[in-house]
Structure formats: structure tokens, C-alpha cells
Chain A
Amino acid sequence: MADLNVNIGSIQLKNPVMTASGTFGYGTEYTDFMDINSLGGIFVKGTTIEPREGNPYPRMAETMAGMLNAVGLQNKGADYFADKIYPAIKDYKTHIIVNVSGSSIESYIECAEKIAGLEQIPAIELNISCPNVKKGGMAFGVTCAGAAEVVRAVRKVYPKILIVKLSPNVTDIAEIAKAVEGNGADAVSLINTLLGMAIDAETRKPVLSTITGGLSGPCIKPVALRMVWQTYKAVKIPVIGLGGISNWKDAVEFMLAGATAIQVGTYNFIDPAVSIKIIEGLNEYCDRFGFKSVSELTGALEI
């Protein structure tokens, strides 16, 4: 049995396997299929200061080995989260991390402040990479100046661990990562979805109500892996890797590329117990190759 503990800043995770925001609800949706307390952490659904209805249906298009979504940050707002959802999930024996989004610097600040007041939430994941909202979201995450500005502003009001979720829809993700590191981020998570599109040839119309949407699933894994590797080489803060992870082998590859921990996203929809299998697989891999600690895998790519 290898030591599966890893650290993201001052947070110790019991293992590096976490579930990605927007793919795991608030954890409660999955309790029939697995012991969610076994996870390293749960990133809960994107939360904004105001309630949001999200985009009109249809919001999803299946692709080869993946899917496009255009949910658009539907959520009931930070107050509802704090009053109604937090009490029900705060005592899970895993780290609950809230994905925070906004449409302006002020709304990011307000939401981060609200979540900072929740004692058992040790970290937020600042979402500067949602491609499905008209204002804010990815707009902040595609330039170094925009990313730096929002991270600097949130850093001032958020004293706990600040993770910043990066967009892959950029020319050089490592530059964005450096910009957020330079402005106080404790870790980065990447990648969010890739901007994509689906067309129905029969009707000659777009499939999604928003025309474009975010691509996720195994089809984006090679892109994500490349970006994790590039980012790992550019920054000193921990990198949390995600993008198409569907088994333990993918998780190992992300860690070899430089990830300290990983998130499982879209594949939760295919196998709701997949993250547990990944934890077991990581342990077996470490035993097989004689790694005493899973953290030895981080950046252990042999070139």
C-alpha cells in the first residue's frame, strides 16, 4: 500500500483523486454508487453570487469520445448554497471545494467572500474559464492581464487556498498560469472545456441553443496532458490536472506530466464509480513500480 496523500498548499488530500465541478453535482447525487468520503476532494458545481437559470435547452451534444455542453453556470446562487446545500455536505469526510464564477470582478469578489465564511470549505476554485456565459467567465481567463486582475482582486478577500481553473482556449496556457501564480494563486487546475460546436446535418441547424459549447471527455485528453506538462514546467505552485480522465492509467499520465492531483469529470457520467477505481488503480501502480508515495509520480516523466 503506497502513501496516497498529496498536498495542495496547506490542504492535505487523502489521495490525489477528486471530482470535477459540474460533473458531480454536490456529491450527494453519487452516494448510491460509491463512498464519496473515499475521494481526495469534491469540486462542487459552479457557484455565482446571484442565482442563474443557465442557457436554454438544448445544452448538450454527444461527440466521438466526448460531449459538448452549454449549461451556462445554472445554479441557485451563493446564498442558497450557504444556507441550504452547505449544511448537508459540510461534514463529508473529504474536502469540499467550491467552484466560484462571476460576470464581473465585483461579482467574483462577492461570491468568494461569501464562500470564505463557510468554515468547512478549505478552498475555492476560481472559474475564469467557463466558455458558456456571455459576460465574465472565460473572458477573464484568455488574457494574462484579465486573469491577473481577477486573481489579484479575489486574493485580497479570500484567505484560504485559492485554486484557479484555467482555460485551454488560449495561445499559451503557461503564460496565463504564470500570471495567476504571480498574483497570489495557490494552485492551478486545468483544463476547462475546449470551445467547440455541433451542427445537425438533417436540420442544418446548430445542436446547441448557444451554437458553441465546451468540449469534454476522453477526446480532449491529449490536449489536456500537453497543457499540464507545459504548465508544470512554468510554475512552482501545484498543478491539478483534468481533461478526459477515464481510468487509473490516465491519472498516472497526468501525474507524470506534472499534476499533483487530478480531477475526474465527464467520465463520472459513464461510470459513476470510476473515481474509486482510479484510486485503487493508482495504488496498485505505485506498488507495482515500487513508488512508496504517489507524490513521487508528479513530474516523473522520463524524457
Chain B
Amino acid sequence: MKKYMLDMKVTESKDLHTNYRLLKITSDKTLPEALPGQFVQVLVDHSPTTFLRRPISINYIDKKSNELWLLIQKVGDGTRAMATYKSGDYMNLLLPLGNGFTVPNRNEESLLLIGGGAGTAPLLFLGACLKEKGFKPAFLVGARSEKDLMQLDDFQQFGTVYATTEDGSYGEKGYVTNHSVWAGVQFNRIYTCGPKPMMQAVARYASANKIACEVSLENTMACGMGACLCCVEKTIDGHVCVCTEGPVFNIDKLTWQI
């Protein structure tokens, strides 16, 4: 897929809760085609400690309004600076980068998209694309507490949403792997993105139950396009760049001890 470097304008910037901000950005030109699971590299201005671009998942692409959504979790100086961007500000992006999730060919009945924290971000665009192709995806989102759950209304447009919270304030109490939906439905394919322990728990379940499973990794990156070889993950094929061979990997490729 052809990659672009674009100056894009922020059209909306809003807090989803204290630690997360949603940026909607647009371009004079029609946004490039992108696959769900791909990411962008953002050049961060006004943060002297931030030298490298920041890789951010594509949260959603609204073709009608020509807007790209980025869900920013405020982790360090770079993401905090990004969260201060206001409507009308410009940001420079490289996009689209990485490989994206596999959209099944045949009509697999039950697809489950499991997200935790900022890891829910790429699943919104994935859910939208799956629905457009005629699938009926289900979402399972996990968080510490109700206030940490984001974009539930958006997810509901594209499929059924199940939720778990560690404190039981929303959905079922516990972790995503304990949710009662597992007992009722035999899933054909699982997609997951979120904290590594969560993804590993999901991968363990998928592996034990012989369910196809893809995870999206977020190894620290420099270039984002396969030049620097910094973001490597150890796979059955040796070290590969997460930025070009990933960020999405089938769990069969990984060497996780699960």
C-alpha cells in the first residue's frame, strides 16, 4: 500500500475521560485507503523531550466527512503534548503503516473483537469494516471501572458489545477471559488488542480451543517503516519488524510462552 506524508488539520479534540483524548483530523485531499489495524506515525510539536514520531492506531475512518480518528492515551510527554492539540491545529502524519487485521474470506459466523484500555482503538475501525463486509462482529471490552470504558456507543453501531470491569461497575465483574459470552458462543476467530497480559490470556484461551486469533502489538518504534529494525518481535521466523510485518500477528507466528 502506498504510504503518504500529510499535514492534517484537527477538526475535533475531546476528552473521553481523564487519561484519553479523541482527535479527529482531516486532509484537503481524500484520505488514503487504510486497513483496520494499520497505524500512523505522528510528528509531535511543542514537546522538547519528544524526538521520535509516535505510532498511533487508526481508531476509525469516516469516509463521508473525510476524517481520521486517533484515540490518544496520555502515557508520556509525547502523547500528553498530542492531547493538547485543538481544533484548527495541524499535525504531520505518515500513513498508513503496518499490515492490518485479516478480514476473513468466507462468512465466518462469529467473530469476537477483544480490547482493553487504549487497545480498543483499532477494534472500532475493524468492527466497522467487518460489518460493511456483511459480518456481525461482537465486541468484548475490558476495563478497571465503568469510567475507563470508551466509545461504547460507537461500538454498538457495528455489533453487540459485552463488557467486563474489574470492580463490577459495568458489565460483568472480572476479566475479559471470564465473561459468560464464552460459554454461549463458539467463536471462529478472535482479534485482540490491549495490555500484553490480557492479550496473552486471550491467546492462551484461543490456542487451547483452536480458535484463529490475531493480536496487535505495540513494541516501541523509531521509524515505523521497516528501516531501523528497532521494534522487532521474536517469531517463528526470527526477529521481524512489528511496524511492517505487524503490528497484527497471528498467535501461531509468535513465540509467546502461553
Interface residues of A (CB under 8 A from B): 22-25, 29-30, 32-33, 45, 53-54, 56-60, 62-67, 69, 71, 74, 217-218, 266, 268-273
Residues of B within 8 A of A71 (CB): 228-230
Interface segment out of the listed B13-21, B123-131, B232-240: B232-240
Of A29, A69, A271, most B-chain CB atoms within 10 Å: A29
> Can you list 7 residue pairs at the A/B interface with Cβ under 8 Å?
A32-B2, A32-B3, A57-B219, A60-B228, A60-B230, A66-B51, A67-B222
B212 located at the interface, meaning its Cβ lies under 8 Å from any Cβ of chain A in the complex: no
Asked if B226 and A25 sit within 8 Å, CB to CB, the answer is: yes
Name the residue on A nearest B4 (C-beta): A32
Q: Is the CB of B227 within 8 A of A29?
A: yes
Asked if A29 and B226 sit within 8 Å, CB to CB, the answer is yes
Residue pair B233, A57 in contact (C-beta under 8 Å): yes
CB-based contact B43/A270 at 8 Å: yes
8 A Cβ contacts from B1-26 to A: 2-5
Interface status of B107 (Cβ within 8 A of chain A):
no
With both chains docked as a complex, state the minimum distance between the C-beta of A90 and any C-beta of chain B, in angstroms.
19
| B203 CB → nearest A CB, Å | 18
- A269's partner among B219, B223, B233, B234 (CB-CB below 8 A) is B223
CA distance A59 to B50 in the complex (A): 18
* B232, A69: Cβ atoms closer than 8 Å: no
Q: A29-B227, A33-B5, A74-B239 in contact; A54/B232 too (CB < 8 A)?
A: yes
A266 to B228, CA, bound (A): 9
Q: Which 8 A-B pairs have CB atoms at the shortest separation, nearest pair first?
A: A60-B230, A25-B227, A269-B223, A32-B3, A29-B227, A71-B229, A59-B230, A269-B222
Q: CA A93 – CA B219 in complex, angstroms?
A: 35
Query: Would you call B51 and A74 a contact (CB within 8 A)?
Result: no
Give the Cβ gap from A80 to chain B, nearest Cβ, in Å: 12
Q: Which of B32-53 contact A (CB under 8 A)?
A: 43, 48-53
Q: Which of A63, A65, A74 is the one whose CB lies under 8 Å from B229?
A: A74
In the bound complex, residues from chain B placing their C-beta under 8 Å from that of A67 are 51-52, 222
- On chain A, the residues within 8 Å of B48 by CB distance are 64
Q: Which of A33, A66, A272 has the most CB of B within 10 A?
A: A272
- Out of A22, A29, A273, which one reaches B5, CB within 8 Å? A273
Do B51 and A65 touch (CB < 8 A)?
Answer: yes
Chain B 192-234 residues near chain A, CB threshold 8 A? 219-234
Residue of B nearest to A60 (CB): B230
Cα–Cα distance between A151 and B230 once the two chains are bound (Å)? 29
Of A60, A62, A217, the contact of B231 (CB 8 Å cutoff):
A60
Q: Any chain A CB within 8 A of the CB of B31?
A: no
Residues of B within 8 A of A53 (CB): 238-239
Query: Shortest distance in angstroms between A24's beta carbon and chain B's nearest beta carbon?
Result: 6
A268 B227 Cβ-Cβ under 8 A = yes
CB distance from B249 to the nearest CB of A (A): 14
Residues of B within 8 A of A269 (CB): 52-53, 222-224, 227-228
Would you give the shortest CB distance from A55 to chain B, in whole angstroms? Answer: 9
Once the chains are docked, how many angstroms separate the CA of A266 from the CA of B51? Answer: 10
Chain A residues with CB below 8 A from B220, complex form: 58, 60, 62
CB distance from B198 to the nearest CB of A (A): 19
The answer to whether residues A270 and B2 also contact, given A54-B229, A56-B234, A59-B232 and a CB cut-off of 8 A, is no
In the assembly, what is the distance between CA of A268 and CA of B49, in Å?
18
Contact of B51 with A33 in the complex, beta carbons under 8 Å? no
B94 on interface, CB distance cutoff 8 Å: yes
